[in-house]
């Protein structure tokens, strides 16, 4: 058994598009998976699929906006699995609750409940889960933390200032945590997806990737698994874009080869 195969990965928002592919890839690598998301039923379903691949996996309903839910699940997981080696702060939303009517608002027109909602899940959720998990990693002298940021956190996103600000916050949270935890055997990195195809493989309308297509969720998952590996211990504080080159620069020169 490789060292990686003895690891336990705790994934938030695990039953969504990127989370599902990530859990599958961890399982294929032999890593045990803690499947957490809002609905117990979908967590159980995915955990069952992963156990079918021969790894330990269990589902837990957890809301990253609720500190007692987060702390309760983390202590139950430590009891059930004995440790958490890998934490992937993947839970996130970018659509406002009223998206069907009018999802995009310039900041000066954005309802307070919208921006509080987005920042609470994406940024505060990442903080809550990290605060609950990190003490056990420090005690073990080992950890891999991967936070999901976004290219919106690098370049901004008009009409979604709250989302862009939450993801920009995740990038600086990642850098700061990486400095605080480096001497304790814990790496902290972020992955910044560009536009990712939907869960069922459908492709969203796209503009601006140099590779000329959208990303499949499995490609984001690959980058996360790479950073989660034991062998990636010299990489910390990085925000790795998985964006087909979108943030390199615009298509402004007429280059079309």
Note whether 19 binds ligand NAD by CB under 6 A: yes
Closest residue by Cα to residue 244 from 200, 216, 218, 209: 209
CB of 118 or CB of 142, closer to ligand NAD: 118
Closest residue by Cα to residue 116 from 166, 46, 61, 182: 166
Site pattern 65..84 for ligand NAD (x: CB under 6 A): x-------------------
User: Please, what is the minimum distance in Å from the beta carbon of residue 38 to ligand NAD?
Assistant: 5
Note whether 16 binds ligand NAD by CB under 6 A: yes
The active-site residue out of 12, 87, 163, 177 is 163
Tokens of 173: 């949270």
Pairing of β 86-89 and β 57-61: unpaired
* Interacting span for ligand NAD (CB under 6 A) from 86-94, 104-112, 135-143, 231-239: 86-94
* Interacting span for ligand NAD (CB under 6 A) from 16-24, 27-35, 176-184, 245-253: 16-24
| Whether the Cβ atoms of residue 185 and residue 143 lie closer than 8 Å to each other | yes
Scan residues 163-202 and list those touching ligand NAD (CB under 6 A).
Answer: 193, 195-196, 199
CB of 65 or CB of 172, closer to ligand NAD: 65
Q: Is 159 left (phi over 0), alpha (psi -120 to 50) or beta?
A: left
**Is 60 part of the annotated catalytic residue set?**
no
d(CA 13, CA 92): 7
CB of 90 or CB of 189, closer to ligand NAD: 90
Note whether 26 binds ligand NAD by CB under 6 A: no
Note whether 148 binds ligand NAD by CB under 6 A: yes
d(CA 166, CA 252): 29
Binding residue for ligand NAD, selected from 8, 10, 11, 13, defined by CB under 6 A: 13
Longest CA–CA span in the chain (Å) reads 58
Pairing of β 143-148 and β 86-89: parallel
Binding residue for ligand NAD, selected from 18, 84, 86, 171, defined by CB under 6 A: 18
Note whether 240 binds ligand NAD by CB under 6 A: no
Scan residues 92-131 and list those touching ligand NAD (CB under 6 A).
Answer: 92-94, 121
Pairing of β 186-193 and β 86-89: unpaired
Q: If you search the block for the tokens 């009517």, which residue do you land on?
A: 101
| Whether the Cβ atoms of residue 130 and residue 89 lie closer than 8 Å to each other | yes
* Interacting span for ligand NAD (CB under 6 A) from 60-68, 181-189, 205-213, 224-232: 60-68
| Radius of gyration from C-alpha coordinates of the chain | 18
Pairing of β 86-89 and β 8-11: parallel
What residues are annotated to the active site? 163
The residue ranges that bind ligand NAD (CB under 6 A) are 12-13, 15-19, 37-38, 62-65, 90-94, 121, 148, 150, 193, 195-196, 199
């Amino acid at each position: 058994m490789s060292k990686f195969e003895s690891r336990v990965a705790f994934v938030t928002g695990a039953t969504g598009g990127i989370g599902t592919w990530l859990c599958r890839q961890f399982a294929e690598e032999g890593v045990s998976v803690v499947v957490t998301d809002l609905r117990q039923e979908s967590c159980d379903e995915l955990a069952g699929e992963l156990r079918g691949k021969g790894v330990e996996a269990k589902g837990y309903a957890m809301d990253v906006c609720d500190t007692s839910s987060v702390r309760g699940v983390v202590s139950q997981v430590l009891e059930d699995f004995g440790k958490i080696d890998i934490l992937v702060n993947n839970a996130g939303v970018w659509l406002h609750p009223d998206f069907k009517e009018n999802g995009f608002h310039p900041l000066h027109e954005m309802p307070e409940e919208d921006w509080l909602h987005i920042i609470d899940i994406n940024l505060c959720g990442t903080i809550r889960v990290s605060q609950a998990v990190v003490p056990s990693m420090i005690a073990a002298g080992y950890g891999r933390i991967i936070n999901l940021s976004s290219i919106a956190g690098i370049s901004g996103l008009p009409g979604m200032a709250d989302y862009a600000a939450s993801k920009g916050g995740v990038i600086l949270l990642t850098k700061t945590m990486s400095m605080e935890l480096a001497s304790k055997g814990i790496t902290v990195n972020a992955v910044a997806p560009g536009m990712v195809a939907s869960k069922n493989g459908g492709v969203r309308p796209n503009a601006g990737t140099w590779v000329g297509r959208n990303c499949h969720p499995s490609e984001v998952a690959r980058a996360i698994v790479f950073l989660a590996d034991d062998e990636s211990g010299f990489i910390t504080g990085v925000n790795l874009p998985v964006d087909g080159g979108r943030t390199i620069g615009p298509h402004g020169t007429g280059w079309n080869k």
